[in-house]
C-alpha cells in the first residue's frame, strides 16, 4: 500500500506465541511468512530451501505437529506453541535424535538436518517405535541431497531404540 507521500506503508500487527518454551510478542506484517519471521527473530535453524512446501528444510513443530513454515503466514501462528531446532536440546544436553544423527554420520552439509530431526521428533512422539518403512514414509517430506537418506534413517531408528543396521565398516562412531 502506498501513502500520499509515495512511501510504502506496511500495516503491522502484533503476534503472540510461544517459541521454544518462551512467550514472544512480535510486530509483523500480515503477509509475513512464518519462516521469515522466525529467521528474522533469530531462529536461523529454520532453513529456506524452496518456499513452496516441497523440500521440508523449514520444518518446525507447531503444537507438536510438523509443518512447513514457508507455507504458513506468521499471523496464523497466533497463540501457538512452536518448537524450532534451537529449542530441542535441553541446555547442553542434546536430544537423543541429535546424538544419533552425529553418531551415525547422518549429517553432511546440515542444511536439511533441522527439518529432518524435528519431523522425526514428531514421529517418535506419536509412534515411539516406528518401522524403517514408517520412518521413510515420514521423512519423504524432507529432501536431502547429501546423504542418500540411509544414515538419517538409521539415526532415527537408533534414537527410537530400534537396533540399527550394523555399521558396515564395523567401526562404531565415537565421540570426539
Partner 1 sequence: MSGDRAVVGQNLRKVDGVKLVTGRPAFTDDIHLPGMLIGKILPSPHAHARIKRIDTGKARALPGVHAVLTYKDVPRVPHTTAGQAWPEPSPYDTYLLDNKVRFVGDRVAAVAAETRAIAEKALRLIEVEYEVLPAVLEIEQAMASGVAVIHDEPDSTKIFDREHNIAGYILREIGNVEEGFRASDLIFEREFRTGRQQHCPLEPHVAIAWLDADQRLVIRTSTQVPYHARRQVAMILQIPVSRVHVIKPRIGGGFGGKQEMLLEDITGALALATKRPVKIEFTREEEFYMARSRHPQILRMKMGVKRDGTIVASQLTVLATTGAYGSHSTTVQGNTGSKVLPLYRAEHMRFECHVVYTNTPVAGAFRGYGCPQGFFAQETLVDEIAEELGRDPVEFRRQNMIRLGDIDKLSAQLGEGKEGLPRHIRSCGLPECLDRAAAAVDWDGKRNAAGGPAHLKRGVGMAATMQGSGIAGVDWASAFLKMNEDGSFFLQVGAADVGAGADTVLAQIAAETLGVSLDKVVITSGDTDITPFDVGAYASSTTIISGGAVRKAAEKVRAHVLDMAAKMLDAPVDKLECGDNQVYTICECRKAVSMAELAMHAMYKEKTQIMDGASHFNTDSPPPFCVTFAEVEVDTETGKVRVLHLVTAVDPGTAINPMQAEGQVEGAVAQGLGYALIEELLLDGQGRPRNASFLDYKIFSAKDMPRLTTILVETDEPLGPFGAKSISEVPINGPAPAIANAIYHAVGIRLRKLPIRPEDVLRELREKLPTL
The binding site for partner 1 (CB under 8 A) comprises 6-8, 40, 42-52, 54-55, 57, 84-86, 88-89, 94, 98, 101-105, 107-114, 117, 135-137, 139-153, 167-169, 171-176
Tell me if 45 sits within 8 A of 35, measured CB to CB.
no
Query: Which residues, in sequence order, are CB contacts of 91 under 8 Å at separation 6+?
Result: none
Cβ closest to partner 1, residue 109 vs residue 125: 109
Smallest distance, Å, CB 34 to partner 1? 16
Coil/strand/helix, residue 97: helix
Angle between helices 113-126 and 132-139 (to 10 degrees): 130
Give me the torsion for CA of 99, 103, 108, 113, rounded to 10°: -20
Cβ closest to partner 1, residue 15 vs residue 113: 113
Smallest distance, Å, CB 60 to partner 1? 10
Cβ closest to partner 1, residue 5 vs residue 79: 5
Smallest distance, Å, CB 154 to partner 1? 10
Cβ closest to partner 1, residue 50 vs residue 125: 50
In the block, cell 522466525 appears at 38
Amino acid at each position: 500500500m502506498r501513502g500520499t507521500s509515495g512511501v510504502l506503508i506496511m500495516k503491522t500487527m502484533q503476534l503472540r506465541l510461544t517459541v521454544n518454551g518462551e512467550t514472544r510478542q512480535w510486530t509483523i506484517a500480515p503477509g509475513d511468512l512464518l519462516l521469515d519471521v522466525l529467521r528474522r527473530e533469530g531462529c536461523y535453524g529454520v532453513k529456506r530451501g524452496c518456499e513452496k512446501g516441497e523440500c521440508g528444510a523449514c520444518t518446525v513443530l507447531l503444537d507438536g505437529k510438523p509443518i512447513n513454515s514457508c507455507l504458513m503466514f506468521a499471523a496464523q501462528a497466533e497463540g501457538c506453541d512452536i518448537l524450532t531446532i534451537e529449542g530441542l536440546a535441553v541446555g547442553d544436553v542434546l536430544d537423543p535424535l541429535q546424538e544419533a544423527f552425529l553418531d551415525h554420520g547422518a549429517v553432511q552439509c546440515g542444511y536439511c538436518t533441522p527439518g529432518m530431526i524435528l519431523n522425526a521428533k514428531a514421529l517418535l512422539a506419536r509412534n515411539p517405535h516406528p518401522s524403517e518403512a514408517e520412518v521413510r514414509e515420514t521423512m519423504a517430506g524432507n529432501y536431502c541431497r547429501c546423504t542418500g537418506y540411509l544414515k538419517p534413517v538409521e539415526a532415527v531408528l537408533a534414537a527410537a531404540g530400534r537396533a540399527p543396521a550394523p555399521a558396515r565398516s564395523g567401526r562404531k562412531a565415537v565421540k570426539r
